[in-house]
Amino acid sequence: MKVAVLALQGAFAEHETMLQRLGADTFQVRQLSDWQQHKDALVIPGGESTTQLNLLEHLNLLVPIRNAIHDGLPVFGTCAGMILLACQEDGKPRQGFGTMDIDVRRNAYGRQMGSFHTVQAVNGIGDDIPMTFIRAPYAHGLLSSSAKVLSQVDGHIVAVQQDRQLATAFHPELTDDTRMHEFFLHIATS
């Protein structure tokens, strides 16, 4: 299993460490020639979605990555990665990959709740999944029946699966708990 990790900005190194702990090979995608290597799956890290989007456009990576996801490449987006996968933000179409039928709200928890940690169950994965939120989004609507809620915190959707696409508002790569990544590798190989 070879996992491409988008490495333009943000917490990509922590994803690589976790994937490698689980036995996957990883490589960083910083430019188009990296992307052209063989891969079985893609991870889009947290960070700053506007910065990542500008770089994706500038480096001519946005369209080839979007096409690969459309063609079935398994993808896991965390936080800013979730925002980049969403096809809507606050009810309006948004720039990005736009491959997940979700409507997101950015920086959705307000200034005082900008960063927090909690534990919550994730359907099909387990109880007590540690969740670190950093100026995180949430999904406030699912736009098709193929998008499924996996977890909610305080009534807000924080984990979604749509076929072979997985998105979390939180950062599992910043904890010691490997279950979200194991679940993703399972999706990617099934």
| Site residues (CB under 6 A) for ligand GLN, limited to 99-118 | 106-107
Residue with tokens 């946005």: 62
Which lies closer to ligand GLN via its Cβ, residue 9 or residue 31? 9
Shortest approach of ligand GLN to residue 78 CB, angstroms? 7
Shortest approach of ligand GLN to residue 147 CB, angstroms? 20
Mark 116-155 with x for binding to ligand GLN (rule: CB under 6 A) and - for no binding.
Answer: ------------------xxx-------------------
What is the rounded distance in angstroms from the CA atom of residue 48 to the CA atom of residue 113? 17
What is the rounded distance in angstroms from the CA atom of residue 40 to the CA atom of residue 131? 26
Which lies closer to ligand GLN via its Cβ, residue 39 or residue 106? 106
CB within 8 Å of 145: residues ≥ 6 apart: none
Which lies closer to ligand GLN via its Cβ, residue 47 or residue 172? 47
- Are 132 and 79 a contacting pair, CB within 8 Å? no
Whether 87 sits among the annotated catalytic residues: the reply is no
Which lies closer to ligand GLN via its Cβ, residue 40 or residue 156? 156
- Are 34 and 61 a contacting pair, CB within 8 Å? no
CB within 8 Å of 110: residues ≥ 6 apart: none
Residue 55 found at the interface with ligand GLN (CB under 6 A)? no
What is the rounded distance in angstroms from the CA atom of residue 77 to the CA atom of residue 63? 17
Near ligand GLN by CB under 6 A: residue from 41, 83, 104, 131: 83
Q: Name the catalytic one among 14, 15, 79, 181.
A: 79
Task: Sort strands 156-162 and 147-153 into parallel, antiparallel or unpaired.
Answer: antiparallel
Whether 171 sits among the annotated catalytic residues: the reply is yes
Residue 80 found at the interface with ligand GLN (CB under 6 A)? yes
State the CB neighbour count (10 A cutoff) for residue 60. Answer: 11
Residue 182 found at the interface with ligand GLN (CB under 6 A)? no
DSSP 81-123: HHHHHEEEETTEE-SS---EEEEEETTTTTTTTSEEEEEEEET
Near ligand GLN by CB under 6 A: residue from 12, 39, 46, 139: 46
Binding site for ligand GLN (CB under 6 A): 46-49, 79-80, 83, 106-107, 134-136
